[in-house]
């Protein structure tokens, strides 16, 4: 049927409405100009063939037809599958397929048809493109994209709740009706789940209960619209998990509990554990515990433990065996927030009975107060008790109690808890004594150290006025010789070691009325000292001593005499002191300052020492670094001559001599020939002068010169070393004539020592440029 369709297609212009080449084809350029070609055209552009044909190969596809009538014409194909899958009969233009085609592999082939001249291979017509369309047959069944799908839904969900979506695809042409449509079907588990046309799986039953069955494995099948169904891959498994909700109540297991607990259990301690069973998953249990009977809410707490859901019983207040030795109550476990309205267990209660037995413990003594506060007046009689503490044995035994004062040697405590001071207390020494008292139980006169309790005792020492006021500081005022009467010399104030209570008043008065000074009480606990007569004479009295009586208004009042030393000072016109009494001046240097100064000096000394050591160390290193030749040179430079020519054991004189010879001709020679100004004056000429006479004359001359020059400093030590006598074979030993002979040493290394040695480097670096006299 399909084949005939193609034939029709080829012969019918109606089914091939578009012509590829409808234009005028002129061949004038290529061939004879005289012949005018007629309008030629391909009359097709599309062919169809069905896929998966079961007939014997080749399958006829269609025919290339051209209206050209040329017995020499030849049809040739080019393009997808040309001459392999598709071949054309070169004479008739029949196109055949030599392979079975599969639309799902390749649905369309692009080809080009040529009409050539058999002899010349030249195109008789322009080539034309056409397509071979492979037509679908419903040969593919829908296939699931996964073999296994997972899905989940809350248990107890209403019917129709979506669980998950599955997908199957059909490779057939979707434009052809029914070929690629997919229908789904649940083939296993259809009692609980259904699937719709779009692959959405929904619950088909209410009351899916996780606690009965938590997972379902259903099988779904996909069929295409024509009923075609793949054998294996047309089905898929869907694993559906039910998600837990809190739809079950807790149930006690067991329902009877018996606990024993020591009476000294701490408030954080655990009395016991109640266990419940709840078939919901742990996070959905949320058990609540409450007292059903026996009102012990004030004694115990039941705290649900997360996850395990156990109820932990804890004491809410200390237990006391002597008061209550056992407790009985019942506990109810509920699940407050059950979320499913139709839950079977909703509203049900589980009740357990609990009995707790308190076990007696031998407990340490208990003070009647957590801490004690006593007040004692300073200086009071030590035989009087400061206060009493009291502790008892809380147990039935009611043992006797002994007390101790811990870590204080100021106080002692009697067996009945009375606290005494060991010595008279002084508020000015300690205003508070905060001590710890221990109470122990005794048995047969022996202290039981394990049964010990401590209590804090705060003892406040109350003040009495037992100290007289004094000057705030040792005043050292001065007064001008010519001070005018009424001039304020100083304003004095006082302090009192006793408690400075708010209404405290100091009164000041002079001991004697006959005085050169006046005291004015300022009534603000200070007083001014002023000059009464004026005109003080330093020659007569250098320091005036002024005794002042200071009293307080305490009970009893206290007073003391403080003497003010007033120095008579020289003053300038402005009234400023220019000179006061020396002896009166205090050394204004405190001990701390002295220590600081000493530390500074020590630090400087250590730094200097370190620098010196470092220098020496560097020098040593430097000498070592020098090579042998340099060391020889140094020997020469110092003009060291050793033990003379005969002493060949100490020195290799030949080396010394050779080096010496060479150094004679070296730049050193030129330096020597140009001695410094200083040495020129002092030193007698080396050659030419032969007699001592001339030398003596010269010395005399110099002495005269010096004697007659008044401007010069005494010149007695005049360069005695300058004279060595004449005609010495060994030449002069004086360093004066050698000028800067030391500069023979290479001081370049100084430059490497960094900026710190820059100055030295500059001085020594000037080789021969300047002369230095040492
Ligand atoms: C070819 O044969 C197979 C198996 O016999 C059949 O399933 C298929 O449909 C056939 N194809 C056509 C195009 O008739
Ligand atoms: C024409 O083309 C064919 C195939 O390409 C070739 O074998 C033949 O020799 C050619 N003929 C001429 C005359 O060029
Ligand atoms: C489905 O769940 C199982 C078990 O939890 C898991 O092993 C599997 O990988 C899951 N499959 C998919 C497709 O998620
Ligand atoms: C309670 O008393 C017992 C026995 O005297 C003792 O072993 C235990 O340590 C005490 N516990 C506490 C918390 O004090
Ligand atoms: C002692 O206790 C009192 C009251 O608590 C407090 O004011 C005082 O500073 C304490 N003294 C000492 C020395 O601890
Ligand atoms: C007052 O000062 C004079 C000297 O300036 C001295 O001689 C005299 O004794 C002083 N009077 C008293 C009471 O100190
Ligand atoms: C006391 O001396 C101070 C200055 O030291 C002064 O300001 C004050 O006015 C004087 N008081 C009286 C009562 O003179």
530-562 residue pLDDT tens: 998 878 888 888 888 999 999 998 888 999 999
Ligand closest to 477 (CA) is 7
HSE, CB side, 13 Å, CA atoms: give it for residue 169: 5
CATH of the domain at 98: 2.60.40.60
**What span, in angstroms and rounded, lies between the C-alpha atoms of 172 and 140?**
6
Classified as helix, coil or strand, 38 is coil
Same domain for 310 and 350, yes or no, is yes
Please indicate, yes or no, if residue 326 is contained in any of the structural domains.
yes
Please indicate, yes or no, if residue 751 is contained in any of the structural domains.
no
Residues 695-713, mean pLDDT to the nearest whole number: 73
The answer to whether residue 503 scores a pLDDT higher than 80 is yes
Residues 70-83, mean pLDDT to the nearest whole number: 86
**Closest alpha carbon to 151 in 231, 215, 220:** 215
**CB-count burial class (<10 Å; 0-12, 13-18, 19+) for 72:** exposed
Q: What is the pLDDT of residue 346?
A: 61
Cβ atoms 734, 680 nearer than 8 A: no
- What contacts 41, CB < 8 A, 6 or more positions away? 19, 21, 22, 25, 66, 67
Please indicate, yes or no, if residue 186 is contained in any of the structural domains.
yes
Q: Which atom of ligand 6 is nearest to the CA of 537?
A: 5
DSSP string, 535-572: ---TTT-SEEEEEEEEEE-SSS--EEEEEEEEEEEEE-
Q: What is the pLDDT of residue 543?
A: 87
Please indicate, yes or no, if residue 747 is contained in any of the structural domains.
no
Full residue range of the structural domain in which residue 556 is found: 470-579
- Whether omega before 207 lies within 30 degrees of 0, making that bond cis, reads no
Q: At how many degrees (to 10) do helices 653-665 and 628-637 cross?
A: 70
Cβ atoms 731, 721 nearer than 8 A: no
Q: Could you tell me the pLDDT band of residue 459, with boundaries at 50, 70 and 90?
A: very high
Query: Which of 208, 243, 278 lies at the terminal end of a domain, its last residue?
Result: 243
Per-residue pLDDT tens digits for 123-177: 888 888 888 888 888 778 888 999 999 999 998 888 999 999 999 988 887 777 7
Q: What is the pLDDT of residue 40?
A: 44
Q: What is the pLDDT of residue 711?
A: 64
Cβ atoms 331, 291 nearer than 8 A: yes
**What span, in angstroms and rounded, lies between the C-alpha atoms of 140 and 176?**
13
Q: Could you tell me the pLDDT band of residue 640, with boundaries at 50, 70 and 90?
A: very low
Q: Could you tell me the pLDDT band of residue 339, with boundaries at 50, 70 and 90?
A: low
Q: What is the pLDDT of residue 344?
A: 63
Mutational test site, ligand 2, from 117, 118, 121, 124, max ligand atoms within 8 Å of CB: 121
pTM: 0.45
Q: What is the pLDDT of residue 224?
A: 82
Pairing of strands 235-243, 148-154: parallel
The answer to whether residue 474 scores a pLDDT higher than 80 is yes
**What span, in angstroms and rounded, lies between the C-alpha atoms of 51 and 82?**
17
Residues 77-96, mean pLDDT to the nearest whole number: 88
CA of 150 to the centre of ligand 3 (A): 6
Residues paired with 42 in a beta bridge:
66
Q: Could you tell me the pLDDT band of residue 371, with boundaries at 50, 70 and 90?
A: very high
Tokens found for residue 91: 């004479």
Q: In this structure, what DSSP letter does residue 657 have?
A: H
Pocket of ligand 2 (CB under 6 A): 119-121
- What contacts 505, CB < 8 A, 6 or more positions away? 525, 552, 553
- What contacts 750, CB < 8 A, 6 or more positions away? 757, 760, 761, 764, 765
Q: In this structure, what DSSP letter does residue 317 have?
A: S
The answer to whether residue 593 scores a pLDDT higher than 90 is no
Residue identifier of the C-alpha nearest atom 8 of ligand 7: 528
Q: Could you tell me the pLDDT band of residue 490, with boundaries at 50, 70 and 90?
A: very high
**What span, in angstroms and rounded, lies between the C-alpha atoms of 398 and 480?**
83
Residues 293-317, mean pLDDT to the nearest whole number: 88
Please indicate, yes or no, if residue 153 is contained in any of the structural domains.
yes
Query: Which of 75, 101, 135 lies at the terminal end of a domain, its last residue?
Result: 135
Residues 222-250, mean pLDDT to the nearest whole number: 83
Cα dihedral 673/674/679/681 (nearest 10): 110
The answer to whether residue 75 scores a pLDDT higher than 50 is yes
Residue 518, ligand 6, Cβ within 6 A: no
Q: Of 305 and 752, which is predicted with more confidence?
A: 305
Q: Which atom of ligand 5 is nearest to the CA of 373?
A: 4
Tokens found for residue 369: 């107060």
Pairing of strands 168-169, 215-224: unpaired
Q: Of 672 and 453, which is predicted with more confidence?
A: 453
The answer to whether residue 22 scores a pLDDT higher than 80 is no
Please indicate, yes or no, if residue 616 is contained in any of the structural domains.
yes
Q: Which residues of 554-591 are buried (b: 16+ CB within 10 A; e: fewer)?
A: beeebebebebebbbbebeeeeeeeebbeebeeeeeee
Cβ atoms 313, 354 nearer than 8 A: yes
Ligand closest to 120 (CA) is 2
HSE, CB side, 13 Å, CA atoms: give it for residue 48: 16
Same domain for 446 and 543, yes or no, is no
Per-residue pLDDT tens digits for 571-591: 888 878 888 765 444 444 566
| Residue with token string 């010149």 | 715
What percent of the chain has a predicted confidence (pLDDT) above 70?
Answer: 74
* End-to-end C-alpha distance for the chain, whole angstroms: 134
Same domain for 684 and 701, yes or no, is yes
Same domain for 392 and 296, yes or no, is no
Q: Which atom of ligand 6 is nearest to the CA of 515?
A: 13
Same domain for 118 and 194, yes or no, is no
Q: What is the pLDDT of residue 138?
A: 77
Per-residue pLDDT tens digits for 36-60: 444 444 445 778 888 887 788 888 8
> Highest-confidence range of 149-153, 477-481, 666-670, by mean pLDDT?
149-153
Please indicate, yes or no, if residue 2 is contained in any of the structural domains.
no
Same domain for 724 and 632, yes or no, is yes
Specify the number of domains making up the chain. Answer: 7
Same domain for 521 and 614, yes or no, is no
**What span, in angstroms and rounded, lies between the C-alpha atoms of 752 and 737?**
31
CA of 474 to the centre of ligand 6 (A): 22
Q: What is the pLDDT of residue 746?
A: 67
Mutational test site, ligand 5, from 376, 427, 434, max ligand atoms within 8 Å of CB: 434
Cα dihedral 725/727/728/729 (nearest 10): 180
DSSP string, 121-138: --BSS--EEEEEEEEP-S
| Mean of all residue pLDDT scores within the chain | 77
Residues 263-271, mean pLDDT to the nearest whole number: 89
Residues 307-335, mean pLDDT to the nearest whole number: 89
Query: Which of 103, 118, 135 lies at the terminal end of a domain, its last residue?
Result: 135
Please indicate, yes or no, if residue 605 is contained in any of the structural domains.
yes
**What span, in angstroms and rounded, lies between the C-alpha atoms of 27 and 70?**
16
Same domain for 11 and 131, yes or no, is yes
Q: What is the pLDDT of residue 192?
A: 92
What percent of the chain has a predicted confidence (pLDDT) above 90?
Answer: 25
The answer to whether residue 512 scores a pLDDT higher than 90 is no
**What span, in angstroms and rounded, lies between the C-alpha atoms of 402 and 440?**
5
Task: Out of 199-213, 268-282, 558-572, 656-670, pick the least confident.
Answer: 656-670
Same domain for 489 and 448, yes or no, is no
Ligand closest to 532 (CA) is 6
Q: Which atom of ligand 2 is nearest to the CA of 116?
A: 1
Same domain for 229 and 112, yes or no, is no
The number of beta carbons lying within 10 Å of the beta carbon of residue 358 is: 22
| Phi and psi, residue 346, nearest 5° | -60, 135
Classified as helix, coil or strand, 508 is strand
Cβ atoms 172, 187 nearer than 8 A: no
Pocket of ligand 1 (CB under 6 A): 52-54, 137
What is the maximum alpha-carbon separation in the chain?
A: 169
Classified as helix, coil or strand, 349 is coil
Residues 610-630, mean pLDDT to the nearest whole number: 64
Same domain for 333 and 272, yes or no, is yes
**What span, in angstroms and rounded, lies between the C-alpha atoms of 380 and 423?**
10
> What is the strand order of the sheet 94-97 is part of?
59-63, 94-97, 86-88
**What span, in angstroms and rounded, lies between the C-alpha atoms of 602 and 591?**
16
Pocket of ligand 3 (CB under 6 A): 146, 148, 150, 239
The answer to whether residue 12 scores a pLDDT higher than 60 is no
Give, for 240, the enclosing helix (H) or strand (E). Answer: strand 235-243
Same domain for 325 and 377, yes or no, is no
Residue 528, ligand 7, Cβ within 6 A: yes
Cβ atoms 350, 333 nearer than 8 A: yes
Residues paired with 315 in a beta bridge:
300
């Amino acid at each position: 049927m399909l084949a005939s369709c193609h034939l029709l297609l080829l012969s019918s212009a109606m089914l091939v409405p578009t012509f590829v080449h409808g234009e005028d084809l002129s061949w004038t350029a290529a061939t004879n100009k005289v012949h005018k070609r007629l309008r030629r055209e391909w009359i097709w552009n599309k062919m169809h063939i069905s896929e998966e044909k079961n007939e014997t190969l080749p399958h006829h596809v269609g025919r290339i037809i051209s209206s050209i009538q040329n017995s020499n014409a030849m049809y040739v194909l080019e393009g997808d599958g040309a001459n392999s899958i598709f071949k054309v009969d070169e004479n008739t233009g029949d196109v055949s397929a030599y392979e079975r085609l599969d639309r799902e592999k390749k649905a369309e082939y692009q080809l080009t048809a040529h009409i050539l001249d058999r002899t010349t291979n030249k195109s008789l017509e322009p080539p034309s493109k056409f397509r071979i369309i492979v037509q679908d047959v419903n040969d593919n069944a829908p296939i699931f994209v996964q073999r296994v799908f997972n899905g989940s839904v809350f248990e107890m969900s209403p019917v129709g709740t979506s669980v998950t979506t599955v997908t199957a695809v059909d490779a057939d042409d979707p434009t052809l009706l029914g070929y690629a449509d997919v229908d789904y079907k649940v083939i296993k588990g259809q009692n609980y789940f259904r699937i719709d046309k779009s692959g959405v799986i929904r619950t088909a039953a209410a009351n899916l209960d996780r606690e009965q069955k938590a997972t379902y494995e259903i099988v779904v099948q996909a069929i295409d619209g024509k009923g075609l169904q793949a054998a294996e891959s047309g089905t898929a498994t869907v694993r559906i998990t039910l998600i837990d909700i809190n739809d079950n109540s807790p149930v006690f297991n067991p329902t009877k509990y018996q606990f024993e607990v020591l009476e000294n259990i701490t408030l954080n301690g655990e009395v016991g554990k109640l266990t419940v069973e709840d078939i919901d998953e742990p996070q959905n249990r949320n058990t609540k515990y409450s007292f059903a009977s026996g009102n012990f809410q004030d004694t115990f707490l039941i705290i649900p433990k997360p996850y395990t859901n156990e109820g932990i019983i804890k004491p809410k207040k200390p237990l006391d065996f002597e008061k209550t030795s056992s407790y009985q109550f019942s506990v109810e476990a509920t699940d407050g927030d059950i979320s499913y309205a139709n839950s079977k267990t909703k509203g049900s209660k589980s009740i357990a009975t609990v009995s707790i037995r308190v076990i007696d413990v031998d407990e340490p003594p208990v003070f009647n107060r957590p801490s004690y506060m006593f007040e004692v007046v300073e200086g009071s009689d030590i035989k009087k008790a400061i206060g009493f503490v009291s502790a008892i044995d809380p147990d039935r035994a009611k043992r006797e109690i002994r007390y101790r004062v811990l870590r204080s040697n100021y106080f002692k405590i009697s067996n009945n808890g009375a606290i005494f001071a060991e010595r008279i207390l002084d508020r000015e020494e300690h205003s508070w004594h905060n001590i710890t008292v221990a109470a122990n139980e005794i048995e047969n006169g022996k202290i039981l150290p394990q049964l010990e309790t401590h209590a804090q005792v705060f003892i406040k020492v109350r003040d009495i006025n037992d100290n007289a006021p004094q000057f705030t500081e040792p005043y050292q005022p001065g007064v001008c010789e010519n001070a005018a009467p009424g001039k304020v010399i100083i304003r004095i104030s006082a302090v009192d070691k006793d408690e400075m209570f708010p209404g405290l008043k100091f009164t000041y008065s002079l001991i004697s009325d006959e005085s050169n000074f006046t005291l004015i009480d300022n009534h603000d606990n200070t007083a001014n000292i002023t000059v009464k007569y004026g005109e003080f004479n330093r020659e007569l009295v250098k320091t005036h001593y002024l005794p002042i009586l200071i009293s307080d208004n305490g009970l009893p009042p206290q007073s003391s005499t403080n003497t003010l030393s007033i120095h008579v000072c020289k003053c300038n016109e402005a009234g400023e002191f220019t000179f006061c009494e020396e002896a009166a001046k205090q050394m204004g240097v405190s001990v701390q300052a002295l220590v600081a100064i000493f530390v500074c000096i020590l630090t400087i000394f250590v730094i200097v020492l370190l620098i010196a050591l470092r220098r020496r160390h560097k020098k040593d290193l430097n000498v070592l670094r020098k090579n042998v030749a340099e060391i020889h040179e140094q020997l020469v430079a110092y003009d060291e001559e050793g033990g003379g020519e005969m002493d060949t054991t100490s020195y290799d004189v030949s080396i010394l001599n050779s080096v010496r010879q060479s150094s004679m001709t070296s730049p050193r020679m030129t330096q020597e020939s140009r001695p410094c100004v200083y040495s020129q004056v002092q030193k007698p000429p080396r050659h030419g002068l032969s007699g001592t006479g001339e030398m003596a004359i010269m010395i005399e001359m110099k002495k005269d010169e010096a004697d007659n020059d008044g401007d010069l400093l005494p010149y007695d030590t005049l360069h005695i070393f300058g004279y060595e006598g004449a005609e010495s074979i060994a030449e002069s030993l004086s360093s004066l004539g050698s000028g800067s002979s030391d500069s023979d040493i290479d001081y370049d290394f100084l430059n490497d020592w960094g900026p710190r040695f820059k100055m030295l480097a500059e001085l020594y670096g000037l080789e021969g440029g300047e002369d230095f006299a040492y």
